[in-house]
Amino acid sequence: MKEINNKINIAKNLDQIDDINAFLRSFGEEKGYFLTGNVVTLEDWKKKRKLRKIYLIGYFFSILEFVFLRFLPKVYFFRFLYKSLGFKSSQYMSEAEILGRFIYNGFEIISFNPEISFHSYTIQKVSLGNFHYVPVGPLISLDRIGKEGKIIKVYKLRTMHSYSEYIHKYMIEQYGFNSKGKILNDFRITKWGRFLRKFWIDEIPQLYNLLRGDLKLVGLRPVGQAYFDELPQEIKEKRLKFKPGCIPPYVALNMQASVNEVVKADNIYMEKYCKNKFVDFHYFLLAIYCIIVKRKRSS
């Protein structure tokens, strides 16, 4: 440990630490600490797995590794079993999850650079961080802004790596947007997640929200605080007057899922809804038509 201008510079290999969150929280509330070190990400680890490169056999081993090294350790019962056996889940954390844990625990990412077989990082403590529970299993609940600003829990099947929601702003700053208005090089989304999203499978748990009354069948897309903060003030004020829905307007209007297109579709919907409350039924039929006939898919 070396003190530099009252700030601490420590070399640490994060993938060798049993509990990364506990380690990052050990710096307490004081701001200004610098932390540097190395970490072998999931992507770095995969590159060293020669069996993965063998045709067919590699596919089989990839499935086994996913189930026994990444999926089961995050399932409630097996989580404790793996821990009792000395399993270190930090050895198989993706780049997105590691960056997310940095920000979750109150650090700013100064640099995160790929080396030959690992990544080097430099981070700085800038805030106390977060304390609410972050689900890491296949079923997740996301904080979304409901009618009149009420925070609701929206349920989905996981399509992104754990802690990915905390690097939304970081991704925009680092990569910007593509021509469709989506974050460029969005490595937060998993391979199976892209499939689930494409066919709307990840949205199925929202039926629970529908039954609870948090969402209605057709309505504005429920968004998180980071997304909401990027919207124009006028749009924010209008959105808060409406209950979010499972089927967003951009689907019914067969528009793209980019920020600009979604905002445009939301505006059209809100104007029509104020004039005719039965517009939801019309939009529901339009959405079914777009999905079945025009093969509208989620992005």
**Could you state, in order of their start, the residue ranges of all structural domains in the chain?**
2-125, 151-159+190-292
Confidence of residue 1 (pLDDT cuts 50, 70, 90): very low
Enter the tokens of residue 142.
């996301």
Encode pLDDT of 149-172 as tens digits. 999 999 999 999 999 989 988 998
CA distances from 247 to 125, 143, 151, 271, 290 (A): 40, 18, 19, 17, 12
**Using one digit for the tens of pLDDT, what is the confidence trace for 101-143?**
999 999 999 999 999 999 999 999 999 898 888 888 888 988 9
